[in-house]
Amino acid sequence: MGVGLFATWQFIYLPAANLIDFVPRRQHGPDLEPIGDPYQARGTFTRVEPLQRAAEYAGDALDFWSEVTAQEQGWSLFAPGPPPYTVFPAVEFRFADGTSDTMLSDFEPADKRHPPLRPPLVDNRYFNFEAQFTYAVWYAPPEEIAKLYVSAEEAAKLRETYRDIPDTVRLWQKPIRAWLAWRWKKYRAAHPEREMPVEVILKHRYLPTPKPGEPPEWAQSVQERPYALWRPASDSFDAFDMVKSQFVPVGTKP
């Protein structure tokens, strides 16, 4: 009987867990994962508060079951469609003497026009730890790229997308700090003459990639956007606000 009930519940759960993503839900609590379900529609679908809350409670229950049973789907294969660029994190070191230097990701190809194949499962943990810092900006591209590849309606929504970026930095600040410190350690090993930088900036590099049918050697200039700023001396940590076009203190709350 128990097996039958479990199987019946799974027949209900599987379609419900996918359909709930289309029902707009509000995000609650300051300690949620910075990304969570990127395919979940955000907002509200009704002004009837009991109905809105009921949908959100149902969604929370489905999310809980997904996590405790390891059935959570963290990616959507080829839907809704990959953007026409690849995002790589990079680190910029700014020194007290006014000079600066940028350390690119170990995974960013040197030959942008003809990037080599990357062997699977090699440095997989390192790759995925670094890649997590790109999720928040994956669909928040620079306006220059957005104008080429999205509709006017979607481009108009970019500022709202940008508005959420600083909060993702706040939620990710511990792993970002650790990663920036580790990258500085690696940089210092190769440049022992360098003193501790006054500012360490995590920035994203958008590498345009050809669409299907376009020449493989097609390439445009790389676009860069700052994301987080760490000052080692004071251990202060800021986020780049794309709406204000400036760094803002992260703080402990949104």
- As a dihedral over the C-alpha atoms of residue 119, residue 120, residue 126, residue 132, rounded to 10 degrees, the angle is 120
219 backbone φψ class: left, alpha, beta (φ>0; ψ -120 to 50): beta
**What pLDDT is stored for residue 229 in this prediction?**
96
Distance CA 254, CA 238 (A): 13
**What pLDDT is stored for residue 103 in this prediction?**
96
**What pLDDT is stored for residue 68 in this prediction?**
85
CB distance 83 to 138 below 8 Å:
yes
Q: Where would I find the beta strands (DSSP E) of 20-133?
A: 85-94, 100-103
b/e sequence 33-58, b meaning 16+ C-beta within 10 Å? ebeebeeeeeebeeeeeeebeebbee
Whether omega before 175 lies within 30 degrees of 0, making that bond cis, reads no
Count of C-beta atoms within a 10 Å radius of residue 225: 17
- Single-letter code of the amino acid located at 138: W
Helix axes 49-68, 2-19, angle to 10 degrees: 120
b/e sequence 100-123, b meaning 16+ C-beta within 10 Å? eeebebeebbeebeeeeeeeeeee
**What pLDDT is stored for residue 81 in this prediction?**
61
**What pLDDT is stored for residue 31 in this prediction?**
43
- pTM > 0.85: yes or no: no
**What pLDDT is stored for residue 77 in this prediction?**
59
**What pLDDT is stored for residue 80 in this prediction?**
55
Handedness of CA 75, 238, 198, 232 (dihedral sign): negative
Taking only the tens of pLDDT, the chain with its 254 residues reads 888 898 999 999 999 988 988 898 886 654 444 445 656 777 889 999 999 999 999 998 998 898 888 787 766 655 556 677 889 999 999 999 999 999 999 999 888 777 788 777 778 888 888 988 988 888 776 676 666 666 777 777 776 677 788 888 988 888 999 999 999 999 999 999 999 999 999 999 998 877 777 776 666 788 899 999 999 999 999 999 887 889 998 864 43
